[in-house]
Structure 1
Amino acid sequence: MSIKNLEKYLPENTLPHLKQWFGDHYIHIKITRGRKSKLGDYRKLPDKSHEITINSTLQPQLFFFVLTHELAHLIAFENFGGRISPHGMEWKNTFRMMLLESISVYSEDLKPIILQFSKSPKANFMASPDLVRYFQIEDYEDESSYIEDLKIGDQFIYRKQTYIIEELRKKNYLCSNINNGKKYIFKPLARVEKIS
């Protein structure tokens, strides 16, 4: 897929950045259906070309952010060699530099969040509560809440199962499944439906 074909998924003014980052690399870009397990993925192929997959369901700014994350893998491996840690310092520094280079692409309300994130880029998008809140706020109906917005003792539905919040453990929540009595740990930004 050529860079030009990506335009419909991207915010305005991203092509100059992508052309610079793509350079002479041969990159296969695959646009996938929405995956719950990941937003994007990078692999170096046996023929020395590169493959990046990205979910088609992402908002344009998030699509560009994820593409930048995956391209940072490619550039870090090319610059520092294949033995570096996938999300080690080389990748973090590369990703940070790319985010700062392209900060003008993001909307004014998102820029401060991207700048804060760039100070210490996380491997997993879900590890950045501000980014998760920013991009998911429109994706859910009003009855959906973050578990961190509920109180100890509140009941909620998650994947058609009913739970009760028992306690906060560090940053995570220990919850009991009312149907089977088993206990589960939930991350603070798990999306759940509160039972009133």
Structure 2
Amino acid sequence: MVRIDILRIFEKHLPGDAVSYCYDLWKTYQFVFIAATPRRTKLGDFRVERGTDFTITVNNDLNPHAFLITYLHEVAHLLVFQRYRRIGRPHGPAWKKMFRDVMQPVLHEAVFPISVLTPLKNYLSNPAASTGAHPALTRALRQLDIKPDGQQLLVEMPEGETFRFLQKEYIRGMKRRTRVVCTEKTTGLKVSIWAHVWVEKTE
């Protein structure tokens, strides 16, 4: 991918004071980066293809601070793989340490507002697979979102309510940790959707 294209993606999606750091990581480790269409079950991912090609994706609807955390979360996966040449436990001790290390250069108030920085530092003391497992950090990040018109967070919707998400209609079910089990109306299939996505309530 052309370098100027990557830089423009970072300038669009990241806090300004984090752009050069994130761009330098991309230049150093040379992976394919995609600001992806939002997905039902994940905010980002890291993939190894043919053993040598690496791809990192981050959902393009995240606010800049959530985008940054997710990007560095996935970069940490890449660095662990490059060091050990295996995936191992995806969110085990090696990844936790690497994630803390790659986050360190942006852990200051020029990048994060104090409302996010405080719970973020707490979360990083023992980072989980998803920031959704840390309620205080999740709330702080969501407060920075621009609420889409006519939408609400899935986690705040009562059980049994119907909603539209990614062009499909669902019935809200029970929350299980960081996700909500929902039923697709047309097929009756049970699907797991991240609890803190914006959804459109339907009648």
CA offsets, 1:120-140, max 9 Å, x none? Answer: 101123212122212336536
Q: 1:64-143 to 2 correspondence within 5 Å?
A: 64-104=68-108, 105-136=111-142, 138-139=146-147
Identity over aligned residues, as a percent? 25
TM-score, structure 1 length as denominator? Answer: 0.71
> Post-superposition shift, 1:59?
0.6
1:13 aligned onto 2:21: no
Aligned to 1:177: none
Range that drifts further, 120-129 or 15-24: 15-24
- Quote the Cα distance in structure 1 between the aligned partners of 2:73 and 2:133: 14
Q: What do residues 122-162 of structure 1 show as CA deviations (whole Å, max 9, x unaligned)? A: 11232121222123365367995776898xxx975566777
Distance 2:62 2:195 in 1: 22
C-alpha RMSD of the superposition: 4.1
Q: Would the aligned equivalents of 2:151 and 2:198 in 1 still touch at CA under 8 Å?
A: no
TM normalised by structure 2 equals: 0.69
State the SS of the aligned residue for 1:43: strand
Equivalent position amino acid for 1:110 in 2: V
Q: Alpha carbons of 1:129 and 1:142: their partners in 2 closer, same or farther (altered >3 Å)? A: farther
| Structure 1 unaligned blocks of 5 or more | 174-185
* Residue identity opposite 1:64 in structure 2: L
Task: Name stretches of at least 5 consecutive residues in structure 2 with no aligned partner.
Answer: 181-192
User: Which structure ranks higher in relative contact order (CA pairs < 8 Å, sequence separation ≥ 6)?
Assistant: 2
Aligned residues: 190
Residue of structure 1 equivalent to 2:186: none
1:36 to 2:44 alignment: no
Separation of aligned partners in 1, 2:12 and 2:176: 43
